[in-house]
Amino acid sequence: LVAARADGDGAASISTLSIRIGCVVCFALLRKAKTLHCGHSVCAACATKLAATNLCPLPGPACRSLDKLVMFDSGKRLEYPRDVPPASNLLLEKFVDKLFPREADAEKDQANTLLKAGKVMEAVAAYDRAIALSPDSHTLHGNRAQALLQLQDWPRALEAADASIALVPRWPKAHFRRGAALEGLGGPRAQECLAAFAVCLALIESHRARTVGFGA
């Protein structure tokens, strides 16, 4: 579930970790994580959507096709029926809380409220505080990009969108916001917006294909 990349001095990259601990359906941070039989984990909201089948939306026989998940432990064959609901993953939840403090969620909620109220400058400041607490949250950088787009601060909006993409490259919203920032910049970079929008659409279609029939 979690993969780390070592840099030059052997330290693990938290940015790499953040890609691996998002929900496999919606890419949200795994608060109240539920682990499916195949080993993939989803957030509580997506676990509710998948409750009718308990099947993982990812392709592959262990995720979709089998009535039972077969595993081997010390040579013993173990079968897990699909009708058993996904289990809460407390270890993963604690790990996520350690890397992404819940205090950042409070700042994010405040920022989202301010943005909806049209208080965009205050919202950007709140996103900045949240990012200081949780710098590897792709949604914080992506939401900050959205606020900066509303201010027509194209260079900083592009920077924020790129930061989000660097953390979770498959999140469509970040690519859309990148395209909007490039379009706003105009000039020689305006043509790049078409590529960003194309990537956004491709990711949306890929996500739909992967999750069709799973209520996502």
Q: What is the pLDDT of residues 33-43, one digit of tens each?
A: 777 766 777 88
Dihedrals phi, psi of 68, to nearest 5 degrees = -135, 145
Task: Output the average pLDDT for the chain.
Answer: 76
Q: What is the pLDDT of residues 8-17, one digit of tens each?
A: 444 444 444 4
Tell whether the model's pLDDT for residue 4 goes beyond 60.
no
Tell whether the model's pLDDT for residue 214 goes beyond 80.
no
Contact indicator for 44, 31 with CB cutoff of 8 Å = yes
Q: What is the pLDDT of residues 179-196, one digit of tens each?
A: 999 999 988 888 899 999
Q: What is the pLDDT of residues 44-99, one digit of tens each?
A: 777 777 766 656 766 665 565 444 444 444 445 445 555 566 667 777 777 777 76
Tell whether the model's pLDDT for residue 132 goes beyond 80.
yes
Q: HSE (CB half, 13 Å, CA atoms) of 208?
A: 7
Q: Tell me what percent of the residues of the chain surpass a pLDDT of 70.
A: 68
Closest CA to 158 of 131, 189, 121: 189
Tell whether the model's pLDDT for residue 3 goes beyond 50.
no
Q: What pLDDT does 59 receive? A: 62
Partnered with residue 42 across adjacent β-strands are: 34
- The model's pTM: 0.66
Name the residue with higher pLDDT: 150 or 54: 150
For the chain, the distance separating the N- and C-terminal CA atoms, rounded to the nearest angstrom, is 21
Tell whether the model's pLDDT for residue 18 goes beyond 50.
no
Q: What pLDDT does 68 receive? A: 46
Six-digit token string for 94: 């604690």
Q: What pLDDT does 65 receive? A: 43
Alpha-carbon dihedral angle through residues 35, 215, 171, 126, given to the nearest 10 degrees: -80
Contact indicator for 161, 178 with CB cutoff of 8 Å = yes
C-alpha dist (Å) from residue 145 to 69, 140, 177, 206 = 41, 9, 7, 23
